[in-house]
Structure 1
């Protein structure tokens, strides 16, 4: 379970983010979201809050990263848990080094709500 303090801390860390940065939550737990919403309201528009439906993987950029990793790992010959771990780490490292790949996810019309 995510509590208010970690969510607020994540938003505060995001306060140094570029203008129009996005924070998104599902409506699962309203108390932490209310605290985060209050914090975001005090950022003067630097952060924007979007509420996603309970299940909307096509609207969640995290799921686009997961989908990319799963597709990459599926193409590799993984024999055991150690191989799977190595393949996942390799895929994450590749995405870290290729921010253009991450930006490309946001070009999809499903994620247009995030664009400034």
Structure 2
């Protein structure tokens, strides 16, 4: 790699590594504790419930840090 003069390094990453992907941990948390665990109540909207669930996760700095 004389063209990069040693300034470029390749790092090979696994094709699928959910334990290294914070998004997977957020979705896992949502799946285990949220809307997926209980049926919607009459008049309750799925999109609104999911948005609220993710907002609750995002409003907890300790929880967000735990994903990293």
Give the TM-score normalised by the residue count of structure 2: 0.62
**Unpaired segments of 5 or more residues in structure 2?**
1-7
How far does residue 63 in structure 1 lie from its aligned partner after superposition? 0.6
**CA distance in structure 1 between the partners assigned to 2:12 and 2:40 by the alignment:** 37
Q: What does residue range 29-108 of structure 1 map to in structure 2 within 5 Å? A: 52-71=13-32, 72-78=34-40, 83-106=45-68
Higher relative contact order (CA 8 A, sep 6+): 2
Q: CA deviation at 1:51?
A: 5.7
Max Rg structure? 2
Q: How big is the shift at 1:67?
A: 0.9
Question: How much has 1:75 moved relative to structure 2?
Answer: 2.2
TM-score norm. by structure 1 comes to 0.40
| Greater percentage in strand | 1
Cα deviations across residues 64-104 of structure 1 (Å, max 9, x unaligned)? 0111112222223227xx73212210111101211111112
The structural deviation recorded for 1:59 is 1.4
Deviation at 1:52, TM superposition (A): 3.5
Instruction: Measure, in 2, the Cα distance between the counterparts of 1:93 and 1:61.
Output: 16
Q: Distance in 1 between matches of 2:63 and 2:13?
A: 23
Query: Please, which runs of 5 or more residues in structure 1 have no aligned partner?
Result: 1-37, 39-49, 107-116
